[in-house]
């Protein structure tokens, strides 16, 4: 198991939910942190708590959907401490809209934030990590990246794509000490449904019943942080909904029938 003390960890989506909870765990363990999210005011609050826990902590507020700015953002992150040991691609935006009714601009924003941003940051970081002797890439996917899910066509697509890209990175650079940890949540009680985009791009602005009944972000974060320390290839996080992953593996036809009956709010 790798120790997280003195590790330099960059977390996106760090202003709330899983990202915030993981930041506090790593801060208490003595990591040096770089935190990114769109909400600067909330990010500063997380930064202050991390500092109170004894960590050195810098923030880089950014909208990751603006992919043309990500090379410069990555260079700024590297400039803080000279390297990144763990890159936790946690930021993401969900969706609430049927495929044919969702405006393409919404599909694009979701793909830019959830998929192309991690890809572009990783491409910039990989040569630096390899030159420094290796590193860990942790990536928040979803059980919706395992099978299609109603009202989530772009979201599920982005999560499927993350598996394809980062499992390939693992295969290509494993011998150069690059490790990938795929973080696959089910229902976690966060604001992801509140911030989801509806078909017209408007914020969903309410928590789904399933999300409200999810496990606390703090509980999820403890399992995720442990998986990152152990460099596990994949960690499933959630409750009984995770059974769907195993059902899909062995009985895909049953999964398709079950998914058609899933409540979508």
- Rounded to whole angstroms, the Cα distance separating 163 from 139 reads 9
- Packing angle between helix 104-111 and helix 153-173, nearest 10 degrees? 30
Please check whether residue 85 is in contact with residue 7, taking contact to mean a CB–CB distance below 8 angstroms: yes
Which of helix, strand or coil describes residue 215? strand
Task: Pick the closest to residue 263 from 213, 221, 222 (CA basis).
Answer: 213
- Rounded to whole angstroms, the Cα distance separating 141 from 54 reads 30
Q: Name every residue whose Cβ is closer than 8 Å to that of residue 210 and which is 6 or more positions away in sequence.
A: 187, 241, 263
Q: Which DSSP state fits 233?
A: S
Annotated active-site positions, please?
155
Task: Pick the closest to residue 77 from 119, 44, 122 (CA basis).
Answer: 122
């Amino acid at each position: 198991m790798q120790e997280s003390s003195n590790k330099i960890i960059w977390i996106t989506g760090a202003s709330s939910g899983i990202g915030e909870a993981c930041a506090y765990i790593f801060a208490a363990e003595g990591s040096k942190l770089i935190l990114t999210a769109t909400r600067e005011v909330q990010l500063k609050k997380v930064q202050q708590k991390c500092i109170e826990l004894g960590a050195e902590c810098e923030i880089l507020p950014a909208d990751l959907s603006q992919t043309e700015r990500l090379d410069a953002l990555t260079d700024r992150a590297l400039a803080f401490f000279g390297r990144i040991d763990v890159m936790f691609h946690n930021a993401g935006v969900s969706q609430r809209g049927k495929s044919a009714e969702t405006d393409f601009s919404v599909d694009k924003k979701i793909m830019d934030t959830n998929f192309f941003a991690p890809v572009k940051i990783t491409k910039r970081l990989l040569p630096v990590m390899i030159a420094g002797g290796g590193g860990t890439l942790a990536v928040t996917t979803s059980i919706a990246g395992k099978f299609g899910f109603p009202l989530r066509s772009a979201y599920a697509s982005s999560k499927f794509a993350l598996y394809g890209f980062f499992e390939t990175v693992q295969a290509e650079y494993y011998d150069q000490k690059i490790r990938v940890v795929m973080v696959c949540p089910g229902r976690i009680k966060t604001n992801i449904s509140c911030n989801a985009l509806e078909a017209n791009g408007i914020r969903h602005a309410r928590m789904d019943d399933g999300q409200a009944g999810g496990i606390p972000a703090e509980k999820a974060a403890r399992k995720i942080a442990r998986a990152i320390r152990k460099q596990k290839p994949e960690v499933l996080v959630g409750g009984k909904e995770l059974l769907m992953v195993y059902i899909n593996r062995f009985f895909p036809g049953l999964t398709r029938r079950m998914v058609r009956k899933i409540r979508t709010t």
